[in-house]
Amino acid sequence: MEGKDEVLRPIYLGKRTFLGLKDLVIAFYAQKCPFQCSYCSLPTKSHPEPLPVTQIKQQIDWTFEQYANELSSFQQLSVGNEGSILDRERFPKEAIAYLLEQAQALSYLKVLSLETRPEYILPATMEEIFHLTHADLIDVTIGFETQDDYLREVILNKTIRRKTFESKIKLLGEMGIRLTSYVLLKPGPTMTEEEGVKEAILTIEYLAEVCQKFGTDLVIYLNPVYVAIGTPLAKAFSLNQYKPVRIQSVVQVIAETSDLNVPIYTGLWSENNTDGYGDYTVHKDYQPEIRNALKQFNKTQDFDLLEPFYQIELDRRQYQSLPILL
């Protein structure tokens, strides 16, 4: 257990431009997530036992001190705890109230984004947050990952049932809360590149359809899968049984779902959870220029930035499909 006088710090603290908004991102150090998703190593960074509210408040104070001179410039505040920020056993009501009280310093706050599992999205909880925040929009971010029930429940061990998830999407629509859903690109250990792309597209199409049905605003957070240390995927990778997705496939998924008019933000970082070789950079045809273009796309949603790379990929696929003439 940490010393009584030790000031804890968040697991992660940073800033980014998310869909054009300057975003302050915080992952608080808290008791580890009770769920055991098979490809996730993030709970290893968390605390094995409940933390006193005072130690969570200390993290909040420390965070806002780090950005004291630019708090008023942030337009989005994204908070999580490597589990569920709405899980009151791990992030008590008093801590949420204190966080949103301190967040009043973000005078131009447009979006409050809360990362959580669907089980913790309750009408009373969300009503309380509405009363505590001055943000124009509340967003909840959920790691649904894939519409394939076998992949999600058996391979990834997410324990997010489709029926439960859809009921929460309906609730969000009724309350005027936006959904941001994580979508994994090539999560299956035996997936080919083409299968990974197809599954990501199917997942985005599914999410768009359900959100349209319930009148819920949607953002996609597309994550090319990386090989997290200590996970089953790491073993498959070490045995040359799994290759991370190519960065070109990220562009392909964005291009081939653009007609849905759903904003897509791409996660391009492995959160310091790989050994340095377990992501899209392992491929010989990896192009840093594509990563730079995707970073700009994350800010602007301007597909013209990605179009040249998508066209090159289309040409490559067409060339590979040509018959060999003897």
Q: What is the DSSP string of 76-92?
A: EEEEE-SS-TT-TTTS-
- SS3 call for 219: strand
User: Scanning the structure block, which residue is given the tokens 């904003």?
Assistant: 263
Dump pLDDT digits (tens) for 153-191: 999 999 999 999 999 999 999 999 999 999 999 998 889
Q: What residues contact 146, with CB distance under 8 A and at least 6 apart?
A: 152, 156, 183, 184, 187, 199, 200, 203
Do the strands 12-18 and 21-27 form a parallel or antiparallel pair, or are they unpaired? antiparallel
H helix or E strand, kind and range, residue 207: helix 193-214
What is the DSSP-derived secondary structure letter of residue 293?
A: H
Q: What is the pLDDT of residue 6?
A: 67
Contact 91, 55 (CB under 8 A): no
Question: Would you put residue 37 in left (φ > 0), alpha (ψ -120 to 50) or beta?
Answer: beta
Cα 33 off chain centre by: 16
Dump pLDDT digits (tens) for 256-273: 999 999 999 999 986 555
pLDDT band for 1, please (50, 70, 90 cuts): very low
CA distance 271 to 227: 11
pTM of the entire predicted model: 0.90
Per-residue burial over 49-63, b if 16 or more Cβ lie within 10 Å, else e, is: eebeeebbebbbeeb
CA distance 93 to 326: 72
Residue type, 224: P
Q: What is the pLDDT of residue 109?
A: 98
Q: What residues contact 5, with CB distance under 8 A and at least 6 apart?
A: none
User: Both tokens of residue 69?
Assistant: 């001179």
Q: What residues contact 3, with CB distance under 8 A and at least 6 apart?
A: none
Q: What is the mean pLDDT of residues 41-49?
A: 54
Dump pLDDT digits (tens) for 221-255: 999 998 877 777 777 777 777 889 999 999 999 99
Contact 113, 140 (CB under 8 A): yes
